[in-house]
A and B are shown apart, each in its own frame.
Chain A
Amino acid sequence: EADIYQTPRYLVIGTGKKITLECSQTMGHDKMYWYQQDPGMELHLIHYSYGVNSTEKGDLSSESTVSRIRTEHFPLTLESARPSHTSQYLCASSAPERGTSQYFGPGTRLLVL
């Protein structure tokens, strides 16, 4: 089993609130990723990081931001949540070698009212 964790698992929050989704891994992986996935739909990469102080935007534009101050931690923040942000957010990590597989966390289901 992969050692990658996400909290909270479920979050229901009102419009305009600031939220931070936590992701941490204990495998020492340099590469970490955030995906967004709506029910029954495909995964969309929204952010990734190849190491501390490195963050990049993914293929799908997102109003969220990320930070990577420590190797094991890759939080995602929404400054002002909106109903359009309702989705599942999946964090993943992989070893530094090119082309290695990713391990996913259990996801955070976000509902913005």
Chain B
Amino acid sequence: RKEVEQDPGPFNVPEGATVAFNCTYSNSASQSFFWYRQDCRKEPKLLMSVYSSGNEDGRFTAQLNRASQYISLLIRDSKLSDSATYLCVVTFSDQGGKLIFGQGTELSVKP
């Protein structure tokens, strides 16, 4: 079983839709949480960190549930430019703080 798991998708949604991505992790020594975005044939880029109380950045909302070992990313009013792969990333204190990447969830926003 992978330490960080995501639904690979693809998620095909129309412009303006709200879409939610889920991510689960299996190591209780979790430390930090991030969502990265990776465009086709490009490098991953940090989208946002995820804080315990949940946090929002414009149309993007990230939530963390430590008890359930679950992270989510909500995208509201999706744009064509949101089409990308979204990577859930967790660091674990018993792994020297290395970033552990999920396999990514592909999002395709259609006009």
Contact = CB atoms under 8 A, between A and B. Distances in A.
Interface of A: 33, 39, 41-43, 45, 48, 50, 88, 90, 94, 98-107
A101 B44 contact: no
Contacts, number: 48
A3 B52 CA distance: 29
B101 interface: yes
A94 B34 CA distance: 14
Main secondary structure of the interface of B (DSSP, over half): strand
A43 B49 CA distance: 19
Given A98-B97, A99-B97, A102-B99, A43 B31 contact: no
A41 B96 CA distance: 25
Contacts of A42: 101-104
Given A42-B101, A43-B101, A45-B98, A101 B46 contact: yes
Q: Which 5 A-B pairs have the closest CB atoms?
A: A99-B32, A98-B97, A104-B43, A42-B103, A99-B31
